[in-house]
Chains A and B, each alone.
Chain A
Amino acid sequence: AQSVTQLDSQVPVFEEAPVELRCNYSSSVSVYLFWYVQYPNQGLQLLLKYLSGSTLVKGINGFEAEFNKSQTSFHLRKPSVHISDTAEYFCAVIEAAGNKLTFGGGTRVLVKP
């Protein structure tokens, strides 16, 4: 069965600074990977996804993530954050032939002025 570990539960960052959120997964088969964002008092929305092809994927709001198969990682980055990026971010994985989406524990990003 797959599992997901988000290594940082909270990440404080100053406005216009870069941010990286770390995600590692475990699975014995091929997987698809996702990052979701949850703004305060809202549901989750998809930021980006990796299904196949280029290992660098770009998402909405200037975020990007890189799939590293050898390190089983899918870290999320943004070169310059805004106050509006304050949210909780979830990494998720699904096995290529599976139905179950497994989420990491989440990383809270607090952007400070």
Chain B
Amino acid sequence: EAQVTQNPRYLITVTGKKLTVTCSQNMNHEYMSWYRQDPGLGLRQIYYSMNVEVTDKGDVPEGYKVSRKEKRNFPLILESPSPNQTSLYFCASRPVGQVGEQYFGPGTRLTVT
């Protein structure tokens, strides 16, 4: 089954404790992206990657890191999480030639206390 998977689905952590949210897709998509969803703000892009070893900042990159060492994986790293990073996070992917339509993972709900 074609899908985007994220782990973990739920995470409660404390301020300053480094964490990684994994994202993997099995559709051989070049483009991958991370979003955060906050009430009333919709989805805002954190980082995106056009292909392996090619990443760029989205609208809200502060406090986040990403890497793209393999085509299928695009982990999101929070080196020192803070309470304002409490949010619902989505990973998405698409083929580079397919404009706009993205395939979303199920989401990761992160709470930083």
Chain A residues within CB distance 8 Å of chain B = 4, 6, 9, 32, 34, 41-46, 49, 51, 90, 92, 94, 96, 99-106
For chain B, residues 68 to 98, give those with C-beta under 8 angstroms from any C-beta of chain A.
Answer: 90, 92
Q: Is A34's CB under 8 angstroms from B101's CB?
A: yes
Question: Within 8 Å CB of A103, what residues of B?
Answer: 35, 42-44
Contact of B101 among A9, A49, A90, A100 (CB under 8 A): A49
Q: What DSSP secondary structure best describes chain B's contact surface? A: strand
Question: Within 8 Å CB of B99, what residues of A?
Answer: 32, 51, 94, 96
CB distance from A108 to the nearest CB of B (A): 10
CB distance from B37 to the nearest CB of A (A): 8
Question: Within 8 Å CB of A6, what residues of B?
Answer: 42
Known: A44-B104, A103-B43. 12 other contacts (CB 8 A): A4-B42, A43-B4, A45-B104, A51-B99, A92-B100, A99-B31, A100-B45, A100-B58, A102-B45, A103-B35, A103-B42, A106-B40
